[in-house]
Amino acid sequence: MLIRHFPVINSAACSAWLDELAASNPRPLIFAHLPETEKPWVAWLQNACNQRQLDLFGAIFPALLTEQGFTKNGANLLASFNAAAHFLVSDLATDHAAAAGKIAEILANQGVTDSDGKQHQLFMIFDSTLPNIGSILAKLFDRLKRSFAYTGVNAGSETFQPMPCLFDNQRLVGGGVAGLILEKDRRIAVQHGYPIAKSLMRASSTVGNRIDRIDGQLAMTAYQRVIAADFGIELTPENFYDYAVHYPFGLVGSLEVLVRIPVAFNEDGSIFCVGEVPPNSMLRLLKAPALAASNCVRALVRQLGPSAGTPLLTYYCAGRRLHFGDNATAELQELKTVSGASSLYGALSLGEISTDGSLGIPEFHNAALVCLS
């Protein structure tokens, strides 16, 4: 995997790099990361790759991650020489079983199954505005089981407003998923490192990523009650956005607690999160850690293994950056130092996907770091 960051998308410099790749054998897949401000360049990239008969796969994110930190300019272009296949599915049905069926059918048509005796890595980039990604992942596992290890991120706008954000050589689409199938030897790690608070609640009424009631109360009323009891904070509609990213919900699963960051509320007292909250699921209130108290980076590196001298493709949750502020760049520097990576490149993500190591089940996260080496 070759990674090239262009601080400014210069057609001459990008064309020269693509010419070098087009002359290589085998020809690589171009995996493109663009920030939202650079989305007009998608058409240029499509044309440039088509002229050179290079396969293109990519997504638009709120910002890029580079050696200098986060930026809303330029492009991160990766050349992958060992991708088994890739795909782009648009207009995923709101029915999560039908959506999973579309993805499974494409994988079968591409000939990527477990019939070769090898487990592949299925890396997916979903449009962040899809309200049922967790359910799609669950149904996909029902169909594919352990044929794949599942990983991925969400793309789109940090405003969570609909925007076409996934592309290949011909299309720029929203409401879908882009997928990249990698060989098993690709090392991937996902961690959030958020500690668990004491309160236990039941999401007694939910629809997708909207929580209507908690413990029978309006969701906002219950959130205000628990955040006051646990942390002494008087939460109001006016300061909701100041505190929600620092005190997210934890969705209690069979094996771990998954972060669900509240991102909006309605006048009717309902709360919207990044990621689904199933009806009658158990919730805990979490407190995002201070950087000095966080063990996330070391846990990530233990899971990933040594990366000395190699670049590390890294995705950093937008909600996590809102919590850490300027310390987000310090956490990335810690990741580079502890991992021994030669460089970090990637994007700011809007939700993350991992695979449980024991059961092989895909899990949808907020506030996580995703690394590929």
Higher-confidence residue: 288 or 197? 288
Residue 213 reports pLDDT greater than 90 = yes
Q: Give phi and psi for 251, each to the nearest 5.
A: -85, 115
H/E stretch holding 178 reads strand 177-182
| Distance (Å, whole) CA 271 – CA 261 | 10
The whole-number average pLDDT for the span 186-194 is: 87
Residue 114: pLDDT band with limits 50, 70, 90:
low
Residue 373: pLDDT band with limits 50, 70, 90:
confident
| Distance (Å, whole) CA 50 – CA 47 | 5
- Percent of the chain exceeding pLDDT 90 equals 70
Q: Which amino acid is at 255?
A: L
Note the pLDDT of residue 118: 66
Note the pLDDT of residue 59: 98
The residue among 247, 241, 253 whose CA lies nearest residue 229 is: 247
**Rounded alpha-carbon distances, angstroms, from residue 255 to 47, 251, 308:** 46, 11, 31
| Distance (Å, whole) CA 232 – CA 202 | 21
Note the pLDDT of residue 187: 84
Higher-confidence residue: 310 or 31? 31
Which of 325-336 are b and which e, b meaning 16 or more Cβ less than 10 Å from the residue's Cβ?
Answer: eeebbebbebbb
Task: Report the chain's mean pLDDT, rounded to a whole number.
Answer: 91
Tokens of 10: 């210069």
**DSSP code of 289?**
P
Find the largest Cα–Cα distance for the chain. Answer: 64
Helices (H), the chain: 11-22, 42-51, 96-109, 133-144, 219-231, 240-243, 296-304, 318-324, 327-339
Note the pLDDT of residue 356: 83
The residue among 242, 263, 265 whose CA lies nearest residue 325 is: 242
Strand partners for 343: 311
Within 10 A of 248 (CB to CB), how many other CB atoms are there?
Answer: 28
Angle between helices 296-304 and 327-339 (to 10 degrees): 30
Contact status, residue 134 vs residue 276, Cβ threshold 8 Å: yes
Strand partners for 152: 124, 353
pTM exceeds cut of 0.95: no
**Residue 26, preceding peptide bond in cis (omega within 30° of 0):** yes
Residue 61 reports pLDDT greater than 70 = yes
What is the pairing mode between strands 217-218 and 210-214? Answer: antiparallel
